[in-house]
Amino acid sequence: MLTIGINTNFDTEKKRINIPNDYINCIIRAGALPVLLPLTDNEDIWRAMVDNVDGMLFPGGEDLHPKLFGEEIHPKCEEIVEERDSQELFTYAHLLTTGKPFLAVCRGIQMVNVAQGGTLYQDIPAQYETTIAHSRSGEGANRAHQVRIQPGTLLHQVLGVDSCWVNSRHHQAIKDVGRGLRVNAISEDGLVEGVELESGYPGIALQWHPENLAAAGDAPMQRLFDWLVKEAGKRA
């Protein structure tokens, strides 16, 4: 059976990893075995994590440290787990050397953008003028706003739609797009909602939470996880 590695969140109070079940169930519905990747400080283990799975999922979670894109911490910046930053940036870079596919969600898209040399709005309400409430914590699959899917992109090919309603649970977002990235989705207020690699590498990064929408029966969102597993099978 194909395996998809899922990076995990870290509960700093209870000192344990965790991951929402919707990510796990989406991978299972797509026909693969989800493998939870623990937080550690061992680079050999980080490398082995990538080498021993067929694809990767970078999920949502804590804020990245702004020093990674050359800024001081903004007062509205929230919890930071630098150990997770180090591990995910390493595993992402190593993943790109293997050709294995990835799907990056919420924090995941921010990590990909920073890894490619881009920057972030540390707090949308404080740094970006918009009438959309992007940080709707606890709303799960509730649709918050629409996004336009850019024609000719991998995301457009996978979803098969020109626009869609998405949920929204993020207070940070892409500011300057990283090198080698192509925008594939844009919100109604102009914020970047998705990117992929210009090289055609099999990777999709999204700002919304497709795992919640897929759990609520949104077929195009489940296609993202189906695509991830299908791509993983091509390289297994």
What six digits make up the tokens of 31?
């026909």
Please give the positions annotated as active site: 106, 209, 211
Distance CA(190)–CA(7), nearest Å, equals 29
Calculate the CA 15 to chain-centre distance.
23
Looking at this protein, which amino acid is placed at residue 200?
A: G
CA dist 208 to 107, 128, 171, Å?
A: 10, 18, 11
Distance CA(210)–CA(224), nearest Å, equals 8
Helices in 139-193 by DSSP H: which ranges? 154-159
Beta carbons within 10 angstroms of residue 35's beta carbon:
16
At residue 20, φ and ψ (nearest 5 deg) are -60, 140
